[in-house]
Amino acid sequence: MQKFNCIIVEDEPLAAEVLSDYIRQVPFLQLKGVCMDAIYAMEVLQGEHIDLIFLDIHLPKLKGLAFIKALKNPPQIIITSAYQEYALEGYELNVVDYLLKPIEFSRFLMAVNKVRQQAVQPIVMHLPATGPAERAYLFFNVSKKKVKVYLDEILYIESLKEYIGITTRQKTILTKFQLGEIEDLLAKNNFLRIHRSFIVAKDKIDAFTATDIEINGKPIPIGRSYKELVLRILDKTP
């Protein structure tokens, strides 16, 4: 199950305790900290990977909406406030949801499930059948956008802890995904798992030895446990 690292930014201890208790009841949420103000929250964001912020609006030092505007690449944000008049401005800042205090657990669940739905796996989609010109592609969640990547442009995919890096000749995109999950999606296409951290496109391989593969000038190691199968497959590739 995919876990979402979250923090609470709230200066009222009782409100923070209620949210902490709600988070503990949701299996896909993992609380990484409670911040009494937005300045401290910024420090946490610099040192931790955070997927979701539960954010109060009336905070000391820096108000909640100003805090959102100050973040260059903000994670998902759910506003928790006793004041409904800021809801429109909150949604204009692309918050996931706006929860009015006191917050019922059922309403809290609705909000966090929106976060989960926005992080669903990409779906393979095909252009209308046009013979040889038909190309398969995937949409990946990158920040708050879904980015299209054509399968025939992918050179290799690298595991980066909670993320994967998908590299083409033009760019590398980072998306929160597990390498095993993308391996399943690509199983019937032109891809080969060669290492616990790498999947490569077979037709993009420029050279290979018993220990590594070269693609676009980059050497990629062949894992020990993958070696026999990889070399057997590559030796049969025309």
Helix or strand holding residue 51 (H, E): none
Helix or strand holding residue 96 (H, E): none
Among residues 92, 118, 144, the one where a domain terminates is: 118
CB 136 within 8 A of CB 150: yes
Range of the domain at 29: 4-118
**Do 22 and 80 fall within a single domain?**
yes
Does residue 72 surpass a pLDDT of 90?
no
CB 179 within 8 A of CB 191: no
Nearest alpha carbon to residue 222 among 179, 188, 193: 193
pLDDT at site 237: 57
Q: How confident is the model at residue 56 (pLDDT cuts 50, 70, 90)?
A: very high
Decide if 54 is inside a domain.
Answer: yes
What is the 3-state secondary structure of 217-234? CEEEECCHHHHHHHHHHH
List of residues 6+ apart from 40 with CB closer than 8 A? none
Looking at this protein, which amino acid is placed at residue 135? R
List the CATH number of the domain containing 209.
Answer: 2.40.50.1020
List the CATH number of the domain containing 10.
Answer: 3.40.50.2300
> What whole-number percentage of the chain has pLDDT above 70?
91
pLDDT at site 122: 59
List of residues 6+ apart from 192 with CB closer than 8 A? 199, 200, 202, 230, 233, 234
CB 80 within 8 A of CB 54: yes
pLDDT at site 119: 64
CB 76 within 8 A of CB 53: yes
Among residues 118, 151, 184, the one where a domain terminates is: 118
pLDDT tens, 129-172? 445 556 788 888 887 778 889 999 999 999 987 789 999 999 99
Decide if 125 is inside a domain.
Answer: no
Decide if 10 is inside a domain.
Answer: yes
pLDDT at site 209: 94
Output phi, psi for 78, to 5 deg: -115, 120
pLDDT at site 156: 97
**Do 136 and 184 fall within a single domain?**
yes
**Do 157 and 197 fall within a single domain?**
yes
pLDDT at site 63: 95
Give me the number of domains the chain comprises: 2
Decide if 123 is inside a domain.
Answer: no
Query: What average pLDDT does this structure show over 192-208?
Result: 94
* Burial 23-38, CB ≥16 within 10 A → b, else e: beebeebebbebbbbb
Decide if 181 is inside a domain.
Answer: yes
CB 55 within 8 A of CB 78: yes
Among residues 77, 94, 118, the one where a domain terminates is: 118
Does residue 9 surpass a pLDDT of 80?
yes
Q: Vertex 72, ends 87 and 139: CA angle to 5°?
A: 85
CA distance 29 to 141: 19
pLDDT tens, 23-32? 999 999 999 9
pLDDT tens, 107-127? 999 999 988 876 655 555 554
Q: N- to C-terminal Cα distance for the chain?
A: 39
> What whole-number percentage of the chain has pLDDT above 90?
62
Query: What average pLDDT does this structure show over 51-67?
Result: 95
CA distance 230 to 148: 29
